Amino acid sequence: MASIDSMNALLVDELRDIYDAEKRLTKAIPKLARKATSDELRSALEEHLEETEQQVQRLEQAFEHLGERAKAKPCAGMKGIIEEGDEHVGEDYDDDDLRDAVIIGSAQRVEHYEIAAYGTAIAHARLLELDEVVGLLEESLEEEKAADRKLTEIAETVVNLEAASEDDEEQSGSRRFATSSVRATAQAQGRRRSSARKK
């Protein structure tokens, strides 16, 4: 394999890695969406699948700007994150909400990895003064960040504590009271956080 001898070559290599990651995700996200129980979670994942397909196209445009062939280089990091997610989501859960909580965790690991990868590639494209490439990558980075925020919102307001409380309701009345007040507090915090974000 040819050695990476310039910042330009390094950027191309990074984009090939991200290209592979995004293409893997176009297959992995539908699997996660199918296993989700919460409608909100499922539609957030389906929405992000559409964005991911556009991100693949944006990378192809970036390769075009660089005069390079769009070629994927196996991304071991994303492969591992997806495998780990499959494994966790496939475990036995007493409650579907608990599985949703795991799906959110897996999807957020994906987003954070992508946010890091795009961040680095953008910095390198900026050093090379490749404005069009920077613009394309920034558009995708913003989508990844928004998807991550959305997942946090879903985790805080819909899934986790609902799952825990249903479990507790079967077990004890006093714990039910304790859990529902915890849930109410968490939901209020979630609302405060999302209204703070809107400002």
CB 149 within 8 A of CB 197: yes
Least Å distance, CB 1 to Fe ion, is 26
Round to whole Å and give the CA distance between 146 and 114: 12
When the beta carbons of 98 and 137 are compared against Fe ion, the nearer one is: 137
Least Å distance, CB 185 to Fe ion, is 33
Interaction of residue 111 with Fe ion, rule CB under 5 A: no
Please give the backbone phi and psi of residue 177, each rounded to the nearest 5 degrees, phi first.
-60, -45
Q: 36-75 mask for Fe ion (x: CB under 5 A)?
A: ----------------x--x--------------------
Least Å distance, CB 125 to Fe ion, is 17
Least Å distance, CB 24 to Fe ion, is 10
Round to whole Å and give the CA distance between 132 and 125: 9
Interaction of residue 114 with Fe ion, rule CB under 5 A: yes
Helical spans, DSSP H, in the chain: 7-35, 39-65, 76-89, 96-127, 131-154, 160-171, 173-198
Q: Which residues bind Fe ion (CB under 5 A)?
A: 52, 55, 114
